[in-house]
Amino acid sequence: MASEKVTDAPAEGYERGLGSRQVQMIAIGGAIGVGLFLGAGANIAKAGPSLILMYALAGVIIFFIMRALGELLLYRPVSGSFAEYSREFLGPFFGYFTGWTYWLMWVVTGMAELTAAAIYVNYWFPEIPQWVTALVFLVVLFGVNLISVKLFGELEFWFSMVKVTALIGMIVIGLGVLTFGFSSAGDTAAVSNLWAFDGFFPNGIGSSLMTLQGVMFAYLAVELVGVTAGESENPEKTLPKAINTLPWRIALFYVGALTVILCVVRWTEFAPGVSPFVEAFAQIGIPAGAAIVNFVVLTAALSSCNSGMYSTGRMLRNLAESGEAPKAFTKLSSTKTPALGILVSVLFMGIGVVLNYVVPEKAFGYVTSVATAAGIWTWLMILISHVLYRRAVDAGRLPASSFPAPGGATCSYVAIAFLLFVTGIIAYDADARVCLYVMAVWAAALGISWAILKGRTPQAA
C-alpha cells in the first residue's frame, strides 16, 4: 500500500530532484541552526552546564516526534505532510490550522535567522545597520529559491557540509585543548569546569527547566524532512535513514559540542547575544578561528532561512490544493517551484527587517518565542495524528506503515506530555509569554477566516 502511494505522489507536480545524499544533509543541517549557534549563549548564562542535560532530554523527545512522523510518512509520503495528516486524522479545520501555523513558524524562523545573520555580519562590519544586512540576505535568498529544487538541494547540501565540518572541527580542537593543554585556554580547561563554579545546576533546576523553550527552538526544522517527502527520489529508503541517524546527530552536534565547549571555557564567561562557539575560539586564542566560526554560524543562519523559504512555498501550495488558500498558490513556475507562495512568504519575512530597524536588541527574542509556540503546535499535531493512526491500524481500518515507531503510541503520549509542560514554562516566563498572546490572536484570526471559508466554499470543510 505504501509503495503505491509513493508512485502516485508525483501527481503533485513537483520534480523528484532530491537525492539520498541531499535529503540526508537537509536532515542533518535542519538540526544545526541558529538556536544552537546563537541562542545557546543566553541559555548557558541562565542554566550553566546543566544546559547539556536539557539538550539531551529535549533530544530524546525530538526523536520520539520524528519516529512518529516517520511512521506517517511511510504510510503516505506527501509534500506538506503535517497539514495532510492533521486533515486526515483530526478533520479539515486542523489541517487548515496546522498548515497555516507551520507557515507562520517558518516565516518567523526566517525572521530570526535574518536577525542572527545581521548580528554575525556586525562582527566584521559594526558600522552597517542590522536591518540593511537583513534586507540584503532576504533578497538574495529569495532569488536562490526560485531556482530548481535540485539546485536548492545542492546548496543545502554544501551549507550543511560547512556546518557539520566546522562543528566536528570545534569538537576536535576542544578535545585537543583539554587533552594536551595547548593554547591560552589550556591552563583553565578541565572537565571539572562542568561543576566547579556553583555546581552543575548553578542557578537551580528551575532556571535550567526555563531554558527548555530556547532549547526546543534550537530543534525546530528537524521535521523539514517531512516536507521533502514529495520531492525525494526514493522516500521509502531515504526518509527512514535520515530519521534513524537523528540520535547520533543530537548526541554529537548538540550534547557533544556543548560539553566540550563548557569544559574548555567556564560557563560564567558566556553572555546572551554572543555565540558560545565564537567566544570559545576567542578564549582559546585563535583569532582567525573566531572569524571562521563566525562565518560558519552565518552560513547556518542563511541555510535555515533558505529552508524556510522552501517549506513555506510548499505549505501554501498544499493549503491551496485543499481549498484553504487562494488557488493562485497551486501554480508552479517553469522550474516546478511554487514561486508565488515563496514570494508572499518572503514579503512577510520582511517584517523581521522592520523589527531589526525598530528593536534590534530584542528582535531575536521576540521571533524565537513565537516560532517555538508555532513549532510546538506542529509537533503536537504530528503526535496526535500518529496516536490516531495507530488506533486505526490496530482496528484494521488502515494499512500498517513499513516504518513503525518503537513503543507504538506510548512514546507519542510521553512527547505530548513533555510539549504541554514546555508550553506551561512559556506561560510562566513573563518575557516569553507574549508569544502565547500572539498565538491566541493567530488562532482567533484563523477561526474567523475558517468560518468565512466554510461559508463560501463548503467543499473545503
Question: What span, in angstroms and rounded, lies between the C-alpha atoms of 367 and 246?
Answer: 26
Residue 6 maps to a domain? no
**Of 164, 180, 414, 130, which Cα lies nearest the Cα of 284?**
180
Tell me the pLDDT of the chain (461 aa) as tens digits: 333 343 333 445 566 556 666 776 766 666 676 667 766 888 898 899 999 999 999 999 999 999 999 899 888 877 667 788 998 999 989 999 998 998 888 888 888 788 778 888 988 888 988 888 888 998 888 887 887 677 777 878 888 888 888 888 888 988 888 888 777 776 778 888 899 888 899 999 999 999 898 888 888 877 777 666 656 667 777 778 778 887 888 888 889 989 999 998 888 888 877 778 878 887 887 767 777 877 887 888 888 888 888 888 888 888 888 888 888 888 887 777 788 999 999 998 888 777 767 766 666 667 777 888 888 999 999 999 999 999 999 999 999 998 999 988 999 999 999 999 999 998 988 877 888 998 999 999 999 999 998 887 776 66
Residue 197 within a domain: yes
Q: How many CA atoms lie within 13 A of 267 on its CB side?
A: 28
The residue type of 117 is A
Q: Mutual orientation of helices 149-180 and 130-145 as an angle, nearest 10°?
A: 130
Of the candidates 329, 247, 287, 294, which has an alpha carbon nearest to the alpha carbon of residue 58? 247
Provide the domain limits for residue 294: 21-389+403-452
Residues constituting the chain: 461
Q: How many domains does the chain have?
A: 1
pTM: 0.85
Nearest-5° Cα angle at 15, 460 to 152: 105
Flag whether 350 is in a domain: yes
List the CATH number of the domain containing 198.
Answer: 1.20.1740.10
Q: Is residue 395 part of a domain?
A: no
DSSP string of 430-454, one letter each residue: TTTTHHHHHHHHHHHHHHHHHHHHH
Question: Per the domain annotation, does 293 fall within a domain?
Answer: yes
Determine the pLDDT at residue 448.
Answer: 94
Q: Is 254 inside any structural domain?
A: yes
**Residue 397 covered by a domain:** no
Listed residue (103, 120, 123, 51) closest to 347, CA to CA:
103
Q: What does the alpha-carbon distance between residue 101 and residue 372 come to, in Å, rounded to a whole number? A: 11
Neighbouring C-alpha atoms within 13 Å toward the C-beta of 300: 31
Asked if residue 170 belongs to a domain, the reply is yes
**Confidence at residue 38, expressed as pLDDT on a 0 to 100 scale:** 67
**CA distances (Å), origin 267, targets 166, 195, 242, 300:** 21, 10, 33, 23
